[in-house]
Amino acid sequence: MTLHECALGRQAESAVLFSFYPLLPANSTRHPEIKELPKEQMAEKVDRKTVEQFYHAQPVSASVERLAAFVPDDRDVDLLKIDVEGAEADVLLGVDDEQWPRIRRIVVEVVDLNERLATVCEVLRGAGFDVDARRAPMTEEENRYYMVHGVRR
């Protein structure tokens, strides 16, 4: 395994700002607007001060690379998992057309804001996958979290 200190997107960029949540690092994102609903839901269960502590973001700058740079030329990708807090379509659009046939299965977590779910499903179908999208288990319906599974046709 090789660690690459970068984010993924549709095009290479340098010095892109991200919101890093030290107490919720898995929620860190380039798109902090998608965290408003979870913040409000948390506020229904705990006091506002606690919510602000958990969602206090630190700006972090990182380079963005295309996923194409990491798809191996010499073998297939059996499973590609994407969980990128709002940048799912951007990551998928960073795969070159000739690389798609080498990806056999894909799993993407999507928060369905601004038609993100439909966009991800459309990209995967266009790349030759049979697509199944279901609400993520153990999530509240209003959160609109989905797991999208793609299997090569």
Q: Does a structural domain hold residue 2?
A: no
Residue 54 vs residues 18, 38, 51, 57: alpha-carbon distances, Å: 16, 11, 5, 8
- Is 49 inside any structural domain? yes
Domains: count for the chain:
1
52 located within any domain: yes
Segment 2-19 mean pLDDT: 95
- List, in sequence order, the alpha helices (H) in 14-82: 36-43, 48-54
Could you report the per-residue pLDDT of 59-102, keeping only the tens digit for each?
999 999 999 999 989 999 999 999 999 899 999 999 999 999 99
- % residues pLDDT > 70 (the chain): 99
**What does pTM read for this prediction?**
0.89
Please check whether residue 1 lies inside any domain of the structure.
Answer: no
Specify if 60 maps to a domain.
Answer: yes
For residue 151, what are its two tokens? 């299997």
Is 130 within the bounds of a domain? yes
Backbone dihedral region of 138: left (phi > 0), alpha (psi from -120 to 50 degrees) or beta? left
Tens of pLDDT, residue by residue over 22-53, are 999 999 999 999 898 889 888 999 999 999 99
Residue 103 lies in a domain: yes
Supply the CATH number for residue 33's domain.
Answer: 3.40.50
- Confirm whether 27 is domain-assigned: yes
Q: Which domain holds residue 81?
A: 7-152
